[in-house]
Structures are given as structure tokens and as C-alpha cells.
Amino acid sequence: MTSHIRAVPFVVMAAPVFLTVSSPSSAAAQQSPPESLPLQEVQFPDFLETTLSNGARVLVVPSDEVPLVTINVVLPGGTSADPAGREGLATLAAQLLTQGTGTRTNEDVAEALDFLGSTLGAGASADFLSVSLGSLTGALDESLAIMADAVVNPVFPSDRLELLRTQTLSALQVELSSAAAVASRAFLQAVYGEHPYARQPTPLSVESITRDDLVAFHNRYFTPAAAMFVVAGDVTLEEVTSSLDRAFRGWQGPAVEVAPYPQAADRASAEVLLVHKPGSVQAEVRIGHLLTAATHEEWTVLSVANQVLGGGPSARLFQVLREDRGYTYGASSSLSRRQGQGYFQAAMAVRNEVLEPALTDMIREIGKMRDQLVPPAELQDTKDFLVGSFPLQIETPQQVASRVMTNRLLGLPEDAIETYRSRVAALDAESVRDSFRRYVDPAKMAIVVVGDAAVLREQVQSFGPVTLLDVAGNVLAASDLAPQGRSVELSGRNLTPMRLSYLVFFQGNQVGTTDRIVDVGEDGTLRFASQAQLGPQQVDQEVTVGMDALDFRSSRMSISMPGQAMGGEVRMDAGRIVGSLTSPGGSQPVDMEVPEGVVVSDMLELAVWVAELQQGTSLELPLANVQLGTVENVTLTVLGREEITVPAGTFDVWRIRVQGSEAQTLWARVEAPHVVVQLEPAGQPIMVQLSALGDGN
């Protein structure tokens, strides 16, 4: 059955036109902008809907302006469908769809798409999973055949799964090292609690996902009865329906039974979640709480209120917190609209020393939206902006299709797009204030702060009960803020002189070399030295430790490059690290109290060399950052055993994750000593691989 949604005229506000007139007698008039032009009618483009023979819905926005067609197939099974303990499953399933089918390898898919000039990708949002195709009109049938193969017949090849797993784990390391990403993760958890919307991948959940999990996920959610094809571009309804029916003729299956979303628990009072990220010099802030369901009619009013509060550089939060106070580079607020309950969020990043007044001002501005009417001029400017800019959001067939698709998936009225501007234009200050008052309440907000909790804790205590967390979401006690000693004993008694050579790669290209040397001293010490040549830059480092307990004694470092040099020397002295650092700007003294068993950066590899490693082994080490004068606990976790090949040969290795400011992944030889065979710093396209291993002579 086919239905034609006719073009519907609706009213928009034309952008104001500014005119300069030279007249000495009209200076006051020149300083005030003229009134906005009258509302004008704009035609909303046609879109068409039909159903394929297998039951899939099709939405088409035709346009013959360019010979290009885009097709998205949208299915249930977003990230909120991830089973508990398998968070990340939907995203992995989406990414692996194009990595091989029953008839095409990953290379076959890539080569065919490249030959046709087409693109194919997939991803998962909170509510949905989508597969997207871009194709020239003349290559549509051939491109659709590849898309259909990926959607219907993916094989989730094990080698591609393992590669993607490794990449995902590396990306998670980057997230956990980013204060902004940690704040967003913690905010979702705080707002949604046990609700499926709170589910986010962790290293453990990603490690747990199997190929059987992917196959089961695909079998459950990939059925035509649950699918919506969204088509835009140079094609007619009849043409694309025929093409889709041919490409997906073998795709069958019943409708997906998706359980309704549970009601997320409302927060009764404000609560502070302080996430400890040692050494941070600024705080990432997220505050907010749940809103109503997507279908509620007051979302339009709330969107106008949000625009006034924090929708851009002219909004109140930006003006007060940046322009007036100078606390931050930017502050904003946003609304997230989902099939289930959405949420309100305000966000900023501020210097540690101004966190308390910045939070006070942010909460005050939110309260003013509840308690005071928006002045007429400010409200009119906001409505003019929203009404006048909306046509820019539906200029292309793809934008129109995306808007209609979103409205259909969220269950909004069929005329929601066409009537949007008239509904915004009709709003008054009382309705904006009253709606905001009904749904947004600072007294019930989750306040998430990510930073150095030892510095920030006192500043947040007045905003509500404080829960301390680490970046992985584990609850901390106040005593945990002080760095702890080593979780295991380490000894270098069994080490012998060694020399190791490594190649350094950047984005797959060799950019330098580095050598590591271990010498055994007659005074019961070990010297671990390294020299790296990275283009014009040379780095020399040396750390001396006690052999019996691998205890830090001293270290020195120098970095030289054309026209510039820096370095430093520090030593242990009665429970303190003392010394100095030098840079082009001068000399800086170092004097910091450290816990027993402290290590410096160079010692992390030595600790891996001598530790007793097994699957699941976890080491906690207090790490001193002499540049910042801080100490944090870093965690080294053995993730698994595998075999890798590097220039020095093929090795049986442990894969080890390092969490903390030195976030990285190490591959260390299973054989003792567990020398590092490969190293990848988190968030950087750098790889260091062993090229030679000798006895140090």
C-alpha cells in the first residue's frame, strides 16, 4: 500500500534585514535593528511512504537535483538493547556487518564499493541500529546488492571481531583518560541508574562478547517487519521499491518483540558524584536529570527554554560563565529526546579554583528560568532564531528524510515538522517559564564533577551528598584519595644485563628508534636507561632502583632538539622526591612527599618485567609525576594471552592494560623476565615494537 503525503505550506520567520542609512539626525534609529519581516510561507518537500513485500516500511524523499541516492535501514536493537554484561554488543554488531558476508570477504566488500564509488557504514544509537548506503543513481542496484548481503548475511568473522575488539578496548582507554568522556559516562549512569539507557561498554564487557552473541543479536533484531528504509535522492518511489524488493527478496522474519522501557527512577534530591582524576588542573561538570517521554507535547516549549538558557554563545550560561565571569571557555545546556525518557543537561569545564562559584552561578541561572519570565526581547530573539534557522535544516532531501524518520521512530504526530514554526512562534513567556518549572528542578539534579577530588572535594560539599568514584565508576572512600603503596612486592634480584632495541611507528610509518639497557651495579642497584631518536629529537632517560625491592633511587632525563633543550634530575630523599627540572623558561625545583613503593614513569616497564603475571593479574602502583608534583595510583591489568609478531620475531605474550594518566597497552613476553614486546599509548597513533633482544654485552 502506498500513501502520498502532500506538500503542506507552513509559516516561517524571515531573517531580519539590516539597512544602514547615513543621516546625522537619525543616529538613534541607526543603533536599533529594524523589525523582522512578516512571516512567509515555505513549502515542505513531498515525501512518500510504502511497504515492501516482506513487510519493511519505506519512506522516500525524491529529488533529481544530483544523481545521488542515500538509503538508511533503521532497526531496533540500539545500545539500550545490549544484554547486561555484554555492553558494546550492538555497536560491535553494527561495525562488523560490513566486514564479511556469506559470499563476500571484507576485502571483496571494500573493493566492490570502491569500484562503484559507493559508501556503506553502520552504527548504533541508544534506541536504534542503522545501516547507511550512499550510491550514484546508476550504480544503485549493484550497491544495494552489497548492502542487502551485509544486512541479511553477515558472518561476523572471528579475525575481524578480534581486531575490532582490540580497537574498541584502545578507544575505551582513551575515553577513560579523557575527563570530558568520563563526565559524560558518569552522568548517564547517574541519571538512568539501572535503566537500559545507562548501559555503556567497559573493557570487561567488550572482552566478554563472543561471535555467538553477535549471531544471536542479529537473529533477534534484523527482521524486515521491524525495519524502516529511509531513501533520499534521485529516485522515484516505484524505482526504489522495485530495487529494494529485488535486493532484499530473501529477507524474512517476524516482528521483533521489544519490551517497553522501564520507568527510570526519579531523583528525590540533588546529589554530587565526584569522579577522582588525580592531577587534573580543571574540573569537567555535568548537571541535570530526567525529562518526560519523547511524545510529550511540551518538548517544543522546553527546547525554546533550553535555547534561552544554554543553546549557544548568546545564551545565558555562556554569557554569564564565560563573558561576565571568565570561569570557562564555554558553558551550554542541551536536551536529549529518546523513545523513552530523555534528559536535561548543562555542561562546562572550569579551573579548579573557581569550581564552587561557577557551579553556584550555573544553578542560579537554571533557577531563574523556573522563577522569572524571559524578557520580551530575549524571547523574541530566541524564537526568531529557531523559526528562521529551521529551513536550513531541511534544505536537502537527506535532511528531510532524516527529520521525518526521527519523528516516525519517536512516535510524534504526522504534522509535527510542518507545524513546528507556528508552534514556536506562538509561545509566550508564561508558557516557557511554566513548562521549565514543571520539568527542570535544580533541587533534584545529579551533579557530576570529574577532576582531582583531593582538591575539589571541599568545594562541592555544599551542593548535596557527595559520592566519590574512580574513572571506572567504582566507589571510593575519602582515604582512597591519598595514593596507596604497591599492591604486590616487586624485586629485581633475578634480572641480568640486557639490551633491547625498538622501532617507533607513527600512523604506521617508522619515525624513530629507541634502545633500552639494563645494567646491574655492584652496589645492589639496577640502572634502566633508554635513548630514543625521534626525527630531530633525542630523548635520554635513566632511572636507578634498588635491586632487592625495585625501590626508586634516582632518575634523570634530557630532551634535545635543534635550538632547544630541557631535562631534569631527581632523587629519593627521606620519603620525598627532590631535585630540579630545566626548560627554556628556566629552572623549577622539585620537592614532593611520596608514599612507600613509589615509581616513576620509566619504572612501569620494569615492574611488568619482574611481576608474577597470570590471566586477570592486577597491579596497583603509586606513580609520581614530577612535572606536576602529583602522585596517583595506576592499575596494570593482564587482559589475556596471545601471540604477536614484531620485527624481533613471534612471541607468546600477555596483553596488559595500564589505567591512569600513563594509559597504554603493553604486550609483554610470557617468559620471565616479561620484557615489553609492543607498546601503544592510549589515544595516540603510535606503536613501539621490539626489533632486537640481547644480553647487554
pLDDT digits (tens, 9 = 90+) for 328-366: 999 999 999 988 889 999 999 999 999 999 999 999 999
Provide the percentage of residues in the chain whose pLDDT is more than 70: 93
Is the pLDDT at 416 greater than 60, yes or no? yes
Which CATH code of 3.50.50.60, 3.30.830.10, 2.60.120.260, 3.40.718.10 fits the domain covering 271-473? Answer: 3.30.830.10
Express each pLDDT in 90-109 by its tens digit. Answer: 999 999 999 999 999 999 99
**179-199 average pLDDT score:** 94
222 pLDDT tier (thresholds 50, 70, 90): very high
Q: What is the pLDDT of residue 38?
A: 59
Express each pLDDT in 642-651 by its tens digit. Answer: 999 999 999 9
Is the pLDDT at 10 greater than 60, yes or no? no
690 pLDDT tier (thresholds 50, 70, 90): very high
34 pLDDT tier (thresholds 50, 70, 90): low
268 pLDDT tier (thresholds 50, 70, 90): confident
Q: What is the pLDDT of residue 45?
A: 63
CA angle 297, 299, 303 (to 5 degrees): 145
Cα-flanking dihedrals φ and ψ of residue 375, to 5°?
A: -55, 145
The CATH superfamily assigned to 47-180+189-247 is: Metalloenzyme, LuxS/M16 peptidase-like (3.30.830.10)
Name the least confident of 2-16, 435-449, 583-597: 2-16
DSSP code, position 585 = T
36 pLDDT tier (thresholds 50, 70, 90): low
Is the pLDDT at 15 greater than 70, yes or no? no
Is the pLDDT at 11 greater than 60, yes or no? no
Asked if domains 47-180+189-247 and 271-473 share a fold, the reply is: yes
Task: Tell me the one-letter amino acid at 353.
Answer: E
- Most confident by average pLDDT, 2-16, 162-176, 498-512: 498-512
Diameter of the chain measured on Cα atoms: 94
Q: What is the pLDDT of residue 290?
A: 93
Is the pLDDT at 170 greater than 50, yes or no? yes
**444-471 average pLDDT score:** 95
Q: What is the pLDDT of residue 219?
A: 93
Is the pLDDT at 247 greater than 50, yes or no? yes
CB atoms inside a 10 Å sphere around CB 74: 23
Q: What is the pLDDT of residue 663?
A: 84
Q: What is the pLDDT of residue 19?
A: 28
Q: Give the residue with greater pLDDT, 285 vs 398.
A: 285
- The domains of the chain are located at 47-180+189-247, 271-473, 498-555+596-694
**189-202 average pLDDT score:** 93
Q: What is the pLDDT of residue 409?
A: 83
Instruction: Give the whole-angstrom CA distance, residue 207 versus residue 496.
Output: 35
Is the pLDDT at 24 greater than 70, yes or no? no
List the grid coordinates of 658. 595500564
Cβ contact 10:425 at 8 Å: no
**581-606 average pLDDT score:** 90
Name the least confident of 11-15, 167-171, 492-496, 543-547: 11-15
DSSP character string of 182-225: HHHHHHHHHHHTTSGGG----HHHHHH--HHHHHHHHHHH--GG
List the grid coordinates of 251. 529477507
Q: What is the pLDDT of residue 631?
A: 87
| Helices vs strands, H then E, count in the chain | 18, 30
Q: What is the pLDDT of residue 39?
A: 56
Mean pLDDT of the chain: 88
Express each pLDDT in 625-677 by its tens digit. Answer: 888 888 888 889 999 999 999 999 999 999 999 987 788 899 999 999 999 99
Q: What is the pLDDT of residue 14?
A: 32
Instruction: Give the whole-angstrom CA distance, residue 27 versus residue 36.
Output: 20
**456-470 average pLDDT score:** 95
Q: What is the pLDDT of residue 146?
A: 96
Name the least confident of 189-193, 520-524, 548-552: 520-524
Instruction: Give the whole-angstrom CA distance, residue 276 versus residue 659.
Output: 13
Is the pLDDT at 324 greater than 60, yes or no? yes
Instruction: Give the whole-angstrom CA distance, residue 688 versus residue 686.
Output: 7
**271-284 average pLDDT score:** 92
Is the pLDDT at 131 greater than 50, yes or no? yes
Residue 357 Cα to chain centre, angstroms? 28
32 pLDDT tier (thresholds 50, 70, 90): low
Residues sharing a CB contact under 8 Å with residue 117, sequence separation 6 or more, in sequence order: 135, 136, 139
DSSP code, position 226 = G
Q: How many CA atoms does the CB half-sphere of 694 hold within 13 Å? A: 12
